[in-house]
Chains A and B, each alone.
Chain A
Amino acid sequence: MVEQGLIRAAQSGDRDALITLLREIEQHVYRTAYYILNNEQDAMDAAQEALIRVYTKINSYEEKAQFKTWVQRIVTNICIDKFRRTKPTVSIDEHDMVFRDHLDVEREVMSGYLAQDIQEAINQLPDHHRTVIVLRYLQDLSYNEIADCLNLPLNTVKSYLFRARQQLQNMLQEHQKGGVSG
């Protein structure tokens, strides 16, 4: 992802190296922010904030961690903070119950809603599930790397990922069934 030499130069005070480094991670940072926040403007704000944080905290990075993991940790933390501030949280169980209870009644509504695309489905996921999905598919991180990013146990990461996919599958399955039936 990023050469260690460039990171070291940036850490040693080379401002040009640090700017180059920011340009290299810019798209990765934005992509994570965009899929977690599902909003271009929020993603821009979060990504810029993350880049500035990288710019100011570059000396706190230690090579024992992967640089991309360190960067993704920064951006996901910013996004989760932003998400918590802007959206009312709903627990997973509550969300599922609501989803299932009203499944039949709101099938049409939900079908239309889910039909938009998978991005909307991702947006329906709880924060941590969505974040794990984003890191897994948008950043192509392994279980361990995701665990490092989110500071979560490995099994928790697996569980979140499996459940997130299951939820997505359910949502899309309903959409597909609705699509077939409709």
Chain B
Amino acid sequence: MNCQEVVERMHRYLDRDLTTDETAQMYQHIAVCPECAETFNILKSLNRELEDLPAVTPPVSLVDAIMPKLDAIDRDRESLVAPPAVKSQEPAEMMPDIRRPRRAGSWWSTVGGRTAIGAAAAVLILGVAIFNYEPKMLSDAEIPYEEASTTSAGANEDSAETEIQDMVQPFAADGGAETGSTANEGSDPSAGLWGSPPESSESDPSPGPNDESKEKTDPSDGAKDTREDAAASNTPVQKNNDGEPQVPDQPARSSNEVPKKNDASQSNPPVDEPGQNSESMSIQTSPNDYEAMDVQTEKLPPISDPAGDAGAGSAESSDRSTGSYQGLAMVPEQWPSPDGLYRASLEAEYLVIYRLPSGDQTSAEAVETVERIPLGGSWVSGQWSEDGLTFKYKVQTNKELVESVYSIEKAQPPASAGQKQPKP
């Protein structure tokens, strides 16, 4: 070990970096080398002086001195936080701009892409359904149509698919051409609705000259509007199916298109009396064997009459009508007999039996009122017998349920045919 190495060990010794062996070797050399011993003493002296350097302290507290600066920094931070808060809105406004391109970039998240996905899913489902469909079910054209329309299972092949379309198209054309006959048949209310608005728009202005009829019907109708609208919107299909006379009367002024049509037919009969426009209406609304509309048109005057008979008490009539209307909303209000010759109708507090024209007669005069039976209570239910000769109905009086039967004798003339046989 030379002196140079020993000096290095001296420094490391002062820095507490020597092992005990290295320290011992260093001391051995120092013991035999006076020069290194002197250097070592000087180094130890220097080291002591350095270690004894005074621990200077600041004349004043530095933290206290910088406190104003620190507060200023905090304020700057807050003001920096606040502008970022404001700026965070700008990025927030910018973020959607950043995201929108991303959305646009991913085609499946666009409206068109989703539509395409939905279309693909529909095609897939349809394909599976077609693949799994039993072709022999198509032997009868009626059955597959029902199944296809109810289950939307489709057909087995492409030809079957077009077959469904062929079946659907006549159906739609049917509803459009017959203008509401489908609505009365109850097969497709919407199809009937499409045909009706033009009628009402045509026929609405026509009752204009008939101020009396308008005055009769308008006040009560206007008063009932709101409540009737609610009820009408609840059961539009049901009313259409039954061709029930009161329903067309009550919601006549509602925005519903079906009542509008009925409104047209309602306002028509008064026009009918002066002999205006009746033919065109009957042609429009009751083509061919469409009886219900004729009946409806014919029956409307008796219905509007009770309301009109109430006279000035339109509020009273509206209350009464509304009450019965709400009660009837859940019950069919017209019952055509199975043989199609008669029709029982619930009008206000009367059960009215109509005799319908036979065959293809469509004139309004063919419908005759057979019997008008006061109910004497609230209506519960009614049903024709299978032979169409008796009509059983139940009325809830004050405390008991009264079941009555109305019988029709076919042989007798309609005017005197009725026999009322109430049974307690």
Partner of A168, one of B46, B57, B58: B46
A10 in the interface (beta carbon within 8 A): no
CB<8 Å pairs between A and B, sample of 30: A15-B74, A23-B61, A23-B63, A26-B58, A26-B61, A27-B58, A30-B56, A31-B55, A31-B56, A34-B56, A35-B56, A40-B59, A44-B58, A47-B62, A48-B62, A48-B65, A51-B62, A51-B66, A52-B66, A52-B69, A52-B73, A55-B66, A55-B73, A118-B46, A119-B53, A138-B53, A158-B12, A165-B47, A169-B42, A173-B42
A44 to B66, CA, bound (A): 11
Q: Which residues of B contact A61 (CB under 8 A)?
A: none
Q: What are the 9 closest A-B residue pairs judged by CB atoms, nearest first?
A: A137-B50, A30-B58, A162-B11, A22-B63, A118-B49, A26-B62, A34-B56, A48-B66, A23-B63
A43 to B56, CA, bound (A): 11
B147 in the interface (beta carbon within 8 A): no
Q: Which residues of B contact A22 (CB under 8 A)?
A: 62-63, 66
From residue A168, how far is it (CB to closest CB) to chain B in Å? 6
A27 to B288, CA, bound (A): 111
Q: Are A118 and B42 in contact (CB under 8 A)?
A: no
Q: Are B51 and A137 in contact (CB under 8 A)?
A: yes
Partner of A47, one of B11, B49, B58: B58
Partner of B46, one of A29, A52, A119, A165: A165
Q: Which residue of A lies closest to B8 (CB)?
A: A162
A56 in the interface (beta carbon within 8 A): yes
Interface string of A9-41 (1 = CB under 8 A from B): 000000100010011001101110011000010
Q: Which residue of B lies closest to A41 (CB)?
A: B59
Task: Known A133-B50, A165-B46, A173-B42; judge A55-B70 contact (CB<8 A).
Answer: yes
Partner of A172, one of B46, B61, B70: B46
A161 in the interface (beta carbon within 8 A): yes
Q: Are A161 and B15 in contact (CB under 8 A)?
A: yes
Interface string of B69-94 (1 = CB under 8 A from A): 11001100000000000000000000
A34-93 contacts to B (CB < 8 Å) = 34-35, 40, 43-44, 47-48, 51-52, 55-56
A47 to B61, CA, bound (A): 11
Q: Which residue of A lies closest to B39 (CB)?
A: A169
From residue A40, how far is it (CB to closest CB) to chain B in Å? 7
The interface of chain A, by Cβ under 8 A from chain B, is 15, 19, 22-23, 26-27, 29-31, 34-35, 40, 43-44, 47-48, 51-52, 55-56, 118-119, 133, 136-138, 142-143, 158, 161-162, 165, 168-169, 172-173
Q: Which residues of A contact B11 (CB under 8 A)?
A: 158, 161-162, 165
B402 in the interface (beta carbon within 8 A): no
Q: Known pairs A48-B62, A48-B66. 5 more at Cβ < 8 A?
A: A22-B63, A34-B56, A44-B58, A138-B55, A142-B15
Q: Which residue of A lies closest to B70 (CB)?
A: A55
Q: Which residues of A contact B65 (CB under 8 A)?
A: 44, 48
A165 to B40, CA, bound (A): 12
Task: Known A44-B62, A162-B8; judge A30-B57 contact (CB<8 A).
Answer: yes
Q: Considering residues B15, B17, B69, which has the most beta carbons from chain A within 10 angstroms of its beta carbon?
A: B15
From residue A53, how far is it (CB to closest CB) to chain B in Å? 11
Q: Which residues of B contact A19 (CB under 8 A)?
A: 63, 70
From residue A132, how far is it (CB to closest CB) to chain B in Å? 11
From residue A147, how far is it (CB to closest CB) to chain B in Å? 13
From residue A52, how far is it (CB to closest CB) to chain B in Å? 6
Q: Which residues of A contact B12 (CB under 8 A)?
A: 158
Chain B: interface residue total (CB-CB under 8 A): 30
A142 to B12, CA, bound (A): 11
Q: Which residues of B contact A44 (CB under 8 A)?
A: 58-59, 62, 65
Q: Which residues of A contact B164 (CB under 8 A)?
A: none
B153 in the interface (beta carbon within 8 A): no
B270-287 contacts to A (CB < 8 Å) = none
Q: Are A30 and B73 in contact (CB under 8 A)?
A: no
Q: Are B73 and A56 in contact (CB under 8 A)?
A: yes
Q: Are A29 and B62 in contact (CB under 8 A)?
A: yes
Q: Which residues of A contact B47 (CB under 8 A)?
A: 165
Q: Which residues of B contact A52 (CB under 8 A)?
A: 66, 69-70, 73
Q: Are A137 and B53 in contact (CB under 8 A)?
A: yes
Q: Which residue of A lies closest to B60 (CB)?
A: A44
A48 to B65, CA, bound (A): 8
B43 in the interface (beta carbon within 8 A): yes
From residue B18, how far is it (CB to closest CB) to chain A in Å? 12
A74 to B66, CA, bound (A): 17
A151 to B47, CA, bound (A): 24
Task: Known A52-B69, A162-B11, A165-B11; judge A35-B62 contact (CB<8 A).
Answer: no
A162 to B58, CA, bound (A): 29
Q: Which residues of B contact A136 (CB under 8 A)?
A: 15, 50
Q: Which residue of B lies closest to A21 (CB)?
A: B63
From residue B54, how far is it (CB to closest CB) to chain A in Å? 9
Q: Considering residues B14, B59, B66, which has the most beta carbons from chain A within 10 angstroms of its beta carbon?
A: B66
A44 to B63, CA, bound (A): 11
Q: Are A51 and B42 in contact (CB under 8 A)?
A: no
Q: Which residue of B lies closest to A170 (CB)?
A: B42
A42 to B242, CA, bound (A): 104
A154 to B51, CA, bound (A): 22
Partner of A27, one of B14, B43, B57, B74: B57
Q: Which residues of A contact B58 (CB under 8 A)?
A: 26-27, 30, 43-44, 47
Q: Which residues of B contact A30 (CB under 8 A)?
A: 56-58, 62
